Amino acid sequence: MYKACPYCNALNLKNEVYCSRCGLKIKKEISLSFAFLIAGVVFYIPANLFPILQTNKFFVSYVNTIIDGIFELMDDGDYPIALIVFLASVLIPIYLLFSIKFKKCKFLKFKYKLYEFVSISGPWSLLDIFVVVVLSVLIHSENIFVLPREGAFYFLIMVICTMLSSKFLDIDLLGEECGD
């Protein structure tokens, strides 16, 4: 029921936010992690609906979404990268959205591993953005040029949000919330 203050060692009630002796904040916020996660999921929708890339070729313009990009990576034989982009930018955000809403405390360890995966794979899914930027800089002839589109912007925000979310996550805090 009691928890020692990490600054002055005074015993406080477990749910106390501020230490009764030194007044410092002793209860860490788990909500910050979830706030970034929800923000990431919100941006997930336009990131996948809007095109991330526009190619203008001989006065005809093509637009590409993330899903198109995954299929193109597979066509090029880049299966590992296609899989990482698919997991990090399509599958995991959907799973995380549902896991916040339901059974928050079940599969705690598994969920933590998933957060770890997101924080590791996050920079990899930024490859999409790098590719768009590099293409738009390199390909700039009279007949062909490539432009980033609004989806790339939403995607970038989504990736940053998921990375911040896993950065603020603390497995001990999750355990505490769930009464372990």
CB atoms within 10 A of CB 97: 15
Q: Which is nearer to Zn ion, 12 or 121 (CB)?
A: 12
Distance (Å, whole) CA 70 – CA 135 = 16
Phi-psi map region of 156: left, alpha, beta (phi>0 left; psi -120 to 50 alpha): alpha
Specify the residue, 8 or 42, whose C-beta has the smaller distance to Zn ion: 8
Stretch of 12-20, 78-86, 110-118, 120-128 lying at the interface with Zn ion (CB under 5 A): 12-20
Q: Does 5 bind Zn ion (CB under 5 A)?
A: yes
Rounded distance between C-alpha atoms, residue 1 and residue 12, angstroms: 8
Using rule CB under 5 A, residue 8 touches Zn ion: yes
How far apart (Å, rounded) are the C-alpha atoms in residues 100 and 113?
Answer: 15
- In this chain, which of 3, 10, 16, 30 binds Zn ion, going by CB under 5 A? 10
* CB closer to Zn ion, 21 vs 140: 21
Structure tokens at 46: 């336009």
Question: How many C-alpha atoms does 13 have within 13 Å on its Cβ side?
Answer: 3
Asked if 7 is part of the footprint of Zn ion (rule: CB under 5 A), the reply reads yes
The reply on whether position 19 binds Zn ion by CB under 5 A is yes
Instruction: Indicate the DSSP class of residue 102.
Output: S
**Strand bridging mode 53-57 / 60-64:** antiparallel
> CB of residue 10 vs Zn ion: minimum separation in angstroms?
5
Q: Using CA atoms of 18, 20, 26, 32 in order, give the dihedral in degrees to the nearest 10.
A: -10
18 binds Zn ion (CB under 5 A): no
User: Where does this chain touch Zn ion (CB under 5 A) — which range of 6-14, 42-50, 65-73, 118-126?
Assistant: 6-14
**Is 19 or 88 the residue whose CB approaches Zn ion more closely?**
19
Q: Determine if 22 is a binding residue for Zn ion (CB under 5 A).
A: yes
Residue 1 CB, shortest distance to Zn ion, in Å, is: 17
Per rule CB under 5 A, is residue 17 in the interface with Zn ion?
no
Binding residues for Zn ion, rule: CB under 5 A, are 5, 7-8, 10, 19, 21-22
